[in-house]
Chains A and B, each alone.
Chain A
Amino acid sequence: MSEQLILASECDVANEVICAPADVKELFELPTIFHIGDIAITRTILLIFLAAFIVVALLYFGLRKGNVIPSKFQAIVESLVQFVRKDVAEDIIGPEGVKYAPYLTAMFLFLLVGNLFEVTPLVNFPITSRMAIPAFLAIVTWLIFVIVGFYKNGFSYFLDIVWPKAVPIGLRWLVGLIELFSTFLLRPLTLAVRLFANLVAGHLMLTLLLGSGVIFIWNFADAGAKSLVGIAWFAFGLGIYLFEIVVAVLQAYIFTLLSAVYIQSSVHPEH
């Protein structure tokens, strides 16, 4: 609601076609709720902890009884966890995927809840549209696959990347250079930016479309016939809303999947 209030205070419904804040930061830098010492606890920080709490609660209440014949809720939580464990960790990385399954599962569930905050009523803010979480997880994935690569294969891990034997000798230096650049720099960067940018775009569209729609319709006295534009924005926003549910789930999955693929490439570099 806070974004809509900001929008409403600035929006000139008679002259604007769409209500946009003066500074896009207003949509992403949420207000401080309280202070702990000098630390400003913003709504974003609270939502980050709320996401963790939801994941822990989901797992706890889903798995605490451990019934042999599961309830519907238990079956859903179980299949969610087993999906990452078996279909992502073990199927992509192989038998050694078991070791990385806790990381990948925690990542998937945390990102899933964090992304779905975008379309959760009353929350309406994806914590992954702030760079902190995508960047942190991308760096952890990067650290894992680099360390595992060197640990498993020694220095040949690096040599195989910069001097790929499968490539004709004339092109080897070029492919090596591209691989070096892509493996150690582009991988973590694209991983983080893909998630971040998708959620930024989604949040931006939802707040602008739904917010403008509501404001135009609400202020029909000032907007007059233009409040019809508001109806169009709102309808379009609802379409995007459904689309964003898919994006939220998909981006959590893609981030986890790519992390698994990168780790796999270090565990078995020949593939």
Chain B
Amino acid sequence: MLYALSTVLILAAEEAEETGNIGLVLPESYELVAGIIAFGIVFFFVWKWAFPAIDKMLEDRQRAIKGQMEDAEATKAEAQSLLDDYRKQLAEAKGEAAGIVNEARESAEAMKTDIVAKAQAEAERIGTKARADAATERDRALASAKVEVANLSIDLAELVVGENLDRTAQLGLVERYLADLERMSD
């Protein structure tokens, strides 16, 4: 039994010697079959699933980028038109404001001239009136002073003379005298 076993082992060893290591360089049949099946699986998966998936994804990406770029372009155009509008409106508003300011300045100028003219006229009028009033008052005071002076003169003269004088005649005399003085002073 033991002998038979060792014979088998020796035979197997000899057989291995004969084939040597050439077996390492030749494909082993089960491994070859396994390799063909495994590679087949990979190949079919790449061909039927991975490539279509990647193509779809690339198309989606391309579309998304294109869409985004178009959106950006549209937004930019809109922004530009808005900016133009605002600029135009701003320019218009500026023009309008300048017009309003000018108008206001002109009207203020006119108003000022008017007020000054009116004030001057008023001042003139008041001055004239004051002068007129003063003259009237002076005349009146002068007239009253004349009468007083005449009366006082007569009273004084009566005291001196010691009798009643003809008041009317004496007054006329005084007045003439004063009128002469006035004439002389003029």
A interface residues (Cβ-Cβ under 8 A, vs B): 23-25, 28-29, 39-40, 42, 44-45, 48-49, 51-52, 55-56, 59-60, 63-64, 66-68, 78, 81-82, 85, 101-103, 105-107, 109-110, 127, 130-133, 135-137, 196, 200
The CA-CA distance from A78 to B35 in the complex, in Å, is 25
CA distance A179 to B41 in the complex (A): 35
Question: Distance in Å from the Cβ of A164 to the closest Cβ of chain B?
Answer: 32
- Is A136 a contact partner of B27 (Cβ separation < 8 A)? yes
Q: Count of A-B contacts with CB under 8 A?
A: 113
**A-B pairs with beta carbons under 8 Å apart, 21 shown:** A23-B21, A25-B21, A40-B30, A44-B34, A45-B31, A51-B38, A52-B39, A52-B41, A52-B42, A56-B41, A56-B45, A63-B50, A81-B50, A102-B47, A103-B43, A106-B42, A110-B38, A130-B31, A132-B31, A132-B35, A136-B35
CA distance A51 to B38 in the complex (A): 8
**Beta-carbon contact of B27 and A105 below 8 Å:** no
Kindly identify, within residues 32 to 55 of chain B, every residue whose CB is under 8 Å from any CB belonging to chain A: 32, 34-39, 41-43, 45-47, 49-51, 53-54
Q: Are A102 and B36 in contact (CB under 8 A)?
A: no
Number of residues from B at the complex interface, CB < 8 A: 33
**Contact: A136 with B36, CB < 8 Å?**
yes
A28: contacting residue among B24, B32, B49, B50, CB under 8 A: B24
CB-CB under 8 A from A55, the residues of chain B are: 42, 45
Is A39 a contact of B30 with CB atoms below 8 Å? yes
A interface SS class: helix
* B interface secondary structure, majority: helix
Pick from B21, B30, B39, B53: contact of A110, CB below 8 A: B39
- A127 CA to B32 CA, complexed, in Å: 11
B64 at interface by CB-CB < 8 Å: yes
- Are A131 and B27 neighbours in the complex by a CB distance under 8 Å? yes
Question: Quick check: B34 and A48 within 8 Å, CB to CB?
Answer: yes
CB-CB nearest 3 A-B residue pairs? A52-B38, A102-B47, A132-B31
Task: Please give the distance in Å from B151's CB to the nearest CB on chain A.
Answer: 125
Q: Determine whether the beta carbon of A24 is less than 8 Å from that of B21.
A: yes
Residues of the B chain whose Cβ atoms lie less than 8 Å from the Cβ of A81? 46, 50-51, 54
Given the contacts A48-B31, A133-B35, A25 and B54 also touching, CB distance less than 8 Å: no
Cα distance, A156 to B60, chains bound together (Å) = 44
From B16, B32, B41, B57, contact of A66 by CB (8 A): B57
Complex contact B27–A130 (CB within 8 A)? yes
On chain A, the residues within 8 Å of B34 by CB distance are 44-45, 48-49, 132
* Known contacts A59-B49, A135-B32; A48/B38 CB under 8 A: yes
Q: Is the CB of A131 within 8 A of B61?
A: no
- The residue of chain A having its C-beta at the shortest distance from the C-beta of B48 within the complex is A102
- Contact indicator B54/A63 (Cβ below 8 Å): yes
A68 pairs with B46, CB closer than 8 A: no
Decide: A24 and B24 in contact? CB cutoff 8 A.
yes
Chain A residues within 8 Å of B16, by CB? 23
